[in-house]
Structure 1
């Protein structure tokens, strides 16, 4: 009798977790996974390229799309064998102090003639920054290789990105807590700790993984990488 009760309880918990996962995949959290009857598991395929996926969700990625078109790196978002970390609009323009959005952390200045001094302001578009800066930012969010829940280690590990700087490494691992999940750039000195995906493990038509994040990634320094 006890075994029966435990089994029933476990099944109820599993059903609840599956429902939650389906809601999260929705990106609104997006639509639920389509069931793959051949594999016998929910499908994580978005049935389009990463670039088309970005364009299909302007409610989430309009600022990211604008940045990609501004720098002309559309082809970088159609590659196979990559892991894309896609920042949502929140990562760029949130005004919540604890979010530490890109625009708030990278304010620009102008000279106010009336005040007679420089005044700082948060931009509303990535086109306010130099193209090379934006390009490197975008390429830093493309990790070389396929990485998701099934093959990431439980210890912080550095991975190469498509950005050119010698410090352009992303730190990823599975953080084991009550809700284990991929954790990005969780190293001492990063502007924000324990960044986890809003939605993860999506798979594009070109054969790359997509993790949707509501924060942006900042590069480590040479000392943080233990580089001489």
Structure 2
């Protein structure tokens, strides 16, 4: 009992000592104003260079597909919007289409896939509304729609970019990172691949 009482007394003296803000000459910080710094969306590189910079992180399959198809120039062309499949989306596509890997795809199939995700013109989320807008990809056989969907009040971005949110358009996909701005257009990153109905 004496041992427990002694520990309690020592504890009562130690708590104020270690909770003191003047311990070791440190002063209590009275206030801190958070300086908001938004994510830098503009970049000093084109879309191809950005994808290349992410090849060891989350865009290795897209980077390899671009190079297998000889499409570097397509991702350096001005005035385009790129729907960027990250590795999760690309892996899902390969699995769903029963490819054992990227190397199992024919070059023409890779080109068709990439063409379906390159849009003529620049489409920033500020250019979109909740009404889907039909956009033209460089694949003449597919149709794509871009729109916005309102987010809940707690979301940092009040609107989410959506792909193909119209009846009978194919699989609807939400953009996970929108409005990246390389020097030659706009990029929207997805972690699920949009599917398209043929025209």
Tell whether the 8 Å contact from 1:172 to 1:183 is kept in structure 2 after alignment: yes
Tell whether the 8 Å contact from 1:136 to 1:164 is kept in structure 2 after alignment: no
Determine the C-alpha separation between the residues in 1 that align with 2:168 and 2:90. Answer: 20
Matches within 5 A, 1:171-190: 171-178=145-152, 179-189=158-168
Tell whether the 8 Å contact from 1:81 to 1:146 is kept in structure 2 after alignment: yes
RMSD, matched Cα: 2.0
Provide structure 1 residue ranges, at least 5 long, that are not aligned to the other structure.
1-14, 23-31, 34-43, 94-100, 109-122, 223-228
Task: Say which SS state the counterpart of residue 59 (structure 2) adopts.
Answer: helix
Q: Work out whether 1:137 is the aligned partner of 2:134.
A: no
> Post-superposition shift, 1:157?
1.9
> Post-superposition shift, 1:215?
1.4
Task: Say which SS state the counterpart of residue 183 (structure 1) adopts.
Answer: strand
Tell whether the 8 Å contact from 1:172 to 1:185 is kept in structure 2 after alignment: yes
Aligned counterpart for 2:48 among listed residues 37, 42, 51: 51
Task: Say which SS state the counterpart of residue 127 (structure 2) adopts.
Answer: coil
Q: Work out whether 1:170 is the aligned partner of 2:144.
A: yes
Residue matched to 2:190: 213
In the alignment of these two chains, the number of paired residues is 160
Residue matched to 2:25: none
Provide structure 2 residue ranges, at least 5 long, that are not aligned to the other structure.
1-33, 153-157
Tell whether the 8 Å contact from 1:86 to 1:210 is kept in structure 2 after alignment: yes
> Post-superposition shift, 1:216?
1.4
Tell whether the 8 Å contact from 2:47 to 2:187 is kept in structure 1 after alignment: yes
Residue matched to 1:79: 77
> Post-superposition shift, 1:134?
1.0
Residue matched to 1:96: none
Task: Say which SS state the counterpart of residue 150 (structure 1) adopts.
Answer: helix
TM-score, normalised to structure 1's length?
A: 0.65
Tell whether the 8 Å contact from 2:164 to 2:170 is kept in structure 1 after alignment: no
Tell whether the 8 Å contact from 2:128 to 2:146 is kept in structure 1 after alignment: yes
TM-score, normalised to structure 2's length?
A: 0.73
Residue matched to 2:9: none
Tell whether the 8 Å contact from 1:82 to 1:145 is kept in structure 2 after alignment: yes
> Post-superposition shift, 1:149?
1.4
